[in-house]
Structure 1
Amino acid sequence: MELNLQDKVALVTGGSKGIGLATTRTLLDEGARVVVASRTTTPELDQLAGPDLVHVPTDLTDPGAPAFAVSRAVDVFGGLDILVNNAGGPPPGVKLPRFSFLAPTDTDWRVMFEFNLFSVVRAVRAAIPVMLGRGGGAIVNVSSGNARQPAAMNVDYSAAKAGMNNLTKALSEEFGPQGIRVNTVSPGPVRTAWWTDEGGAADILATATGSNRDDLMDKIAPEMMKLTTGRLVDPQEVADVIALLVSPRSASTTGADFVVDSGFLKAV
C-alpha cells in the first residue's frame, strides 16, 4: 500500500530503539524526512543515517526539550507534518515493574508523569502552531493497554497513559476541524529494551516467578497476561499501525485508539 508520505516531515520521540526505531525506519522507507529526539543514538539508528534523518540528542523530561526538537524539524526540513510521541515507559534510571501502589513515592509519580505525559503535552503544544501553518498534520501518541486495564502494578505509569488517552480525545475534538488528526496506538507487552535490557522487566519478573528471563519472555509472561497470540508484540507490528495512521490514507481517522497487544485487552 502506498502511504503517500513522500517528503512529509516527521518528529519521532524516543526513536533510537524499540517501537520508535521501527517507526523511524518505516517512515524513512516511505519517503518521509525524520527528526528523532532521544537522549542518545544507537548503532541501529546510526545505520539509518542519511540526508533525510536528523538526530536531536535531548532529554525529553527537560521542559524545553520537546519544543527544541520541533524547532529543529522546522530549521532543518522547513516544517512539521507528523508527530509521533513514542518516548515513554520507565523514565531514565527507573526499573519497572513495581508491584504495588505503595511502591512509588511522590518523586516517582512526578518523574513518571514528566516522561509519559507532560513531555507529550509540550511536544503537541509546540507542534500544533507549525502544523496549522502548513494546513494540518497528524499526531500519534503511543499509549498502552495498561491505560484501559488497571492493575496493582505500575500504577503511576498506567495513570499517566490514561491521561494521554483523554488528552488525545480532547486534541482531536479541538483541532480535527482545523486539519490535525490525533490518535493513540496502545501496544501490549512489546519485546523492547524495557523487557530485554539487563535488569529490565524480564529479569525482575523472572526473579519474582523463580524462572529465567528467556522462559519468562517466551512462555511465562504471555501466559500471565493471557495473550491470545501466545507471544509478546514485535516493535514493527506497532510501527506499521503508526505509519498507516499518520498517512493521508487515514484521513477520516481521528480520536481513535488502535490496540496492538497480542490480545491483552479482553473487554468490548
Structure 2
Amino acid sequence: MDLQLSGRVAVVTGASKGVGLAVVRTLLAEGARVVAASRKTSPGLDDLAGSDLVHVPADLMDPDAPAQVVARAEAEFGGLDILVNNAGGPPPGVSLPRFSFMAPTDDDWRRMFEFNLFSAVRAVRAAIPLMLARGGGSIVNVSSGVARQPAPMNVDYNAAKAGLNTLTQTLSEEYAPQGIRVNTVSLGPVRTAWWTEEGGAADIIAAQAGTDRDSVMDTVAPQMMNLTTGRLVDPQEVADVIALLASPRSASTTGADFAVDAGFSKAV
C-alpha cells in the first residue's frame, strides 16, 4: 500500500532508538523527510543518514526545545505535515517501575509530567501554525495502556499519559475541522531500552521476582501483565500503526486511540 507520504515533512521525538527509531526508518522508507529529535544520536539513526533526515540534538525537558525542533522542520524542509510525539517513559536519570504511590516525590511528579505531557503540549503548540499554513496535518501522540488501565505502580507516569490522551481528544475536537487530525497510539510493554538496558525495567522486576532479566522479558512480564500474545511488543509493530495514522490514507481517523499492546487492554 502506498501511504502517500512521499515529500511530506515529519518531526519525530525520542528518535534515536526503540519506537522512535522504527518510526523514523518507516517514514523515510515511505518517502517522507524527517526531523529526528533526541538528546544524542545513535548508531541506528546514523545508519539512516541522508538528505531527507536531519537530527536535532534536544533535551525535551528544556521548555524551549520542542519549539526549536519544530522550527528546524520549517528551516530545513519548508514546513511541517506530521508530528509524532514519541518521547516519553522515564525522564533522564530515572528508572522505572516504582511500586508504590508513596515512592515518587513532588519533583518526580514534575519531571514525569514535563517529559511525558508538557513536552508534547509545547511541540503541538509550535506545530499547529505550520500545519495550518499547509492546509492540515497529522499529530500522533504515543501514550500507554496504563492511561486507561492503571496498575498500582508508576502512578505519576500513568497520570501523565492519561493527560496526554485527554489532550489528544481536545485537540482533535478543535482542529479536525481545520484539517489537523490528532490520534493516540497506546502501547503495552515494548521491547525497547526501557526494558533491555542495564538497570532498566527488566532488571528491577527481576530483583523483585528473584529471577533473571531474560526470564522477565520472555515470561514474567507477559504473564504479570496478562499479555494475550504472550510476548512484548516489537517496535516496528508500533511504527507501522503510526505511519498509517500519519498517512492521508487515514483521512477520516481522528480523536482515536489505537492499542498496540499485545492484548494488555481488556476493556470493551
Length-normalised TM-score, structure 1: 1.00
Question: Given residue 167 of structure 2, which amino acid in structure 1 is its aligned partner?
Answer: L
Counterpart of 1:71 in structure 2 is: 71
Output the aligned Cα RMSD: 0.3
Residue 119 (structure 2) pairs with residue 130 (structure 1): no
Partner of 1:119: 119
Deviation at 1:45, TM superposition (A): 0.4
Helix, strand or coil for the counterpart of 2:127? helix
Aligned AA (1:267) = A
Identity %: 77
1:148 aligns with 2:148: yes
- 1:211-246 deviations in whole A, cap 9, x for unaligned? 000011001110111100000000000000000000
5+ residue gaps in structure 2? Answer: none
Distance 1:3 1:267 in 2: 30
Q: Which residue of 2 is the match for residue 104 of structure 1?
A: 104
> Which letter does structure 2 place at the counterpart of 1:228?
T
Structure 1: state its 5+ residue gaps: none
Q: TM-score if structure 2 supplies the norm length?
A: 1.00
1:232 aligns with 2:232: yes
Q: Distance in 2 between matches of 1:130 and 1:267?
A: 37
How is 1:145-184 mapped onto 2 (pairs within 5 angstroms)? Answer: 145-184=145-184
Kindly state the Cα deviation for residue 247 of structure 1 after the two structures are TM-superposed. 0.1
Measure how far apart 1:151 and its partner are. Answer: 1.3
- Give, in whole Å, the separation in 1 of the partners of 2:192 and 2:151: 21
SS at match of 1:62: coil
The answer for the alignment partner of 2:88 in structure 1 is 88
Whole-angstrom distance in 2 between the partners of 1:223 and 1:43: 33
1:25 Cα deviation from its structure 2 partner: 0.1
Q: Provide the rounded CA distance (Å) in 1 between the counterparts of 2:150 and 2:15.
A: 27
Give the Å deviation of 1:256: 0.1
1:18 is aligned with what amino acid? G
Q: CA deviation at 1:150?
A: 1.3
Matched residue, 1:217: 217
Deviations 1:50-98 (A, max 9, x none): 0000000010010000000000000000000000000000000000000
The one-letter code sitting in structure 2 at the alignment partner of 1:219 is T
- Which stretches of structure 1, 4 residues or more, deviate above 2 A after TM superposition? none
Cα distance between partner residues in 1 of 2:219 and 2:59: 35
Distance 1:227 1:124 in 2: 32
- Separation (CA, whole Å) in 1 of partners of 2:200 and 2:62: 24
Q: Which residue does 2:139 correspond to in 1?
A: 139
Name the structure 1 match of 2:194: 194
**2:3 is matched with which residue?**
3
The residue identity in structure 2 corresponding to 1:71 is: A
Give a deviation string over 1:33-57, Cα, whole Å, max 9, x none: 0001110000000000000000000
Letter in 2 for 1:160: A
Could you tell me how far apart the structure 1 residues matched to 2:266 and 2:259 are? 11
Alpha-carbon distance, 1:129 to partner: 0.4
How many residue pairs align between the two structures? Answer: 268
Amino acid across the alignment from 1:143: S
Q: Which residue of 2 aligns with 1:34?
A: 34
Matched, 1:19 2:19: yes
1:62 matches 2:70: no
| Paired position in structure 1 for 2:243 | 243
**What residue number does 2:263 align with?**
263
CA distance in 1, matches of 2:63, 2:47: 29
Give the match's secondary structure for 1:143: strand
Secondary structure of the equivalent of 2:12? strand
2:253 matches 1:253: yes
